[in-house]
Amino acid sequence: MTAPRAVVLTAGLGTRMRPFSLRWPKPAFPFLNRPLLHWILDGLEAAGVREVSLNLHHRPSALVRAAASRKGPLRLRWFFEPSILGTAGPFPIMAAELGREPFLVLNGDTLAPPPIEALSADLAAHPEALCVMALRPRSGSYTAVDLDEEGRISHFGRGEHQFTGIYLARPDLFRHLTPGRPAELVAHVLGPLLCEGAIRGVTSPGPWFDLGDPVNYLEAALGLLGAMASGEIPIPAGSRLEVRDGFPLLLHPTAWASRRAEVTGPLALEEGVLLGPRSRAGGSVLLPGARPTPHQPLEGVLAWRGGSLRAS
């Protein structure tokens, strides 16, 4: 099948990332000198997607501006939610635009190459299925998913896998939902269909990052910074990557780091950040507005003007 339309869920409040999310909605959050949404849209475009629907609620104008700053052929469609409709509630109001073909769904605070070919092949081979979910081996506190030998999901809350937030759905998956009424994907849509064998899963071995909290955000940023340093992924246009004290240092075009500053680990300086003499920072991302001083070591933190979040 041709690459499907896609939906990126972008209406959340980002409560785990406060106070930063009071200024930026999570998909517009600065991430290695680009809005996170740019990285997500790049992945969709590379996979052949040409049309993306996004839902809006928290700081909608900031999200639209972030999207507008990206160049590329993707066609974006926006749907405003006066009140948050949950992880399934937006689909009835998008139905006319999504059409009758399967469409891809992913979260606006995760980063992973969408396994469109594997999802599409599985859905095409099982006409009884309404949804195929991308799974990965379970880790941490993520909700477990039980996948049987036939590729059907049989249970949520136990099992050896976890949901990545990426899935391919037939429009009929949401046929019983009422437009404008909140609904959650697992509780109101997928769970009731498990006994019918209509929900399937495929394992996705590629990299996957959840950027919904400070620990995971920093882990993802530093991991990708290392990938840039080794040449595995490109450096964002206009940014500079240097090696300081043996560690990669990514600088926004408007950022600066004194040669007399001490770099104690991988470090990213976002827009306008100045790291002066005798400053010390490492294992951190300094966001727009951060003002490091010699008396404020910044190690293992996300920082901006007014505060920081320690990723531990």
Task: State pLDDT tens for residues 66-102.
Answer: 999 998 899 999 999 898 899 999 999 998 888 889 9
Task: State pLDDT tens for residues 263-281.
Answer: 999 999 999 999 999 899 9
Per-residue model confidence (pLDDT) at position 123: 96
pLDDT confidence band for 8 (50 / 70 / 90): very high
The mean pLDDT value for 295-312 works out to 78
Per-residue model confidence (pLDDT) at position 24: 81
The mean pLDDT value for 50-78 works out to 90
| Top-confidence residue, 307 or 161 | 161
In the chain, what percentage of residues exceed pLDDT 70? Answer: 97
**Which phi and psi angles does 283 have, rounded to 5°?**
60, 35
> Residue 148 and residue 153: Cα distance in Å, rounded?
6
* The two three-digit tokens of residue 298, written as one number: 């910044």
Pair 32, 250: CB distance under 8 Å: yes
In the block, tokens 């992924």 appear at 233
Per-residue model confidence (pLDDT) at position 3: 67
Per-residue model confidence (pLDDT) at position 22: 78
Task: State pLDDT tens for residues 150-170.
Answer: 999 999 999 999 999 999 999
Task: State pLDDT tens for residues 190-234.
Answer: 999 998 989 999 998 888 888 888 888 888 999 999 999 999 999
Q: What is the 3-state secondary structure (H, E, C) of the chain?
A: CCCCCEEEECCCCCHHHCCHHHHCCHHHCEECCEEHHHHHHHHHHHCCCCEEEEEECCCHHHHHHHHHCCCCCCEEEEEECCCCCCCCCCHHHHHHHHCCCCEEEEECCEECCCCHHHHHHHHHHCCCCCEEEEEEECCCCCCEEEECCCCEEEEECCCCEEEEEEEEECHHHHCCCCCCCCCCHHHHHHHHHHHHCCEEEEECCCCCEECCCHHHHHHHHHHHHHHHHCCCCCCCCCCEEEEECCEEEEECCCCEECCCCEECCCEEECCCCEECCCCEEECEEECCCCCCCCCCCEECEEEECCEEEECC
Per-residue model confidence (pLDDT) at position 312: 60
CATH superfamily of 6-210: Spore Coat Polysaccharide Biosynthesis Protein SpsA; Chain A (3.90.550.10)
> Residue 123 and residue 121: Cα distance in Å, rounded?
6
Phi-psi region of 261 (alpha: psi -120 to 50; beta: other; left: phi over 0): beta
* Residue 1 clears pLDDT 60, i.e. is over it: no
> Residue 6 and residue 40: Cα distance in Å, rounded?
11
The mean pLDDT value for 33-46 works out to 93
Per-residue model confidence (pLDDT) at position 103: 96
Q: Which amino acid is at 177?
A: L
pLDDT confidence band for 2 (50 / 70 / 90): low
Q: In the chain, which residues fall in CATH 3.90.550.10? A: 6-210
Per-residue model confidence (pLDDT) at position 165: 92
Which segment of 44-53, 120-129, 288-297 scores lowest on mean pLDDT? Answer: 288-297
The mean pLDDT value for 172-192 works out to 92
pLDDT confidence band for 291 (50 / 70 / 90): confident
In the chain, what percentage of residues exceed pLDDT 90? Answer: 60
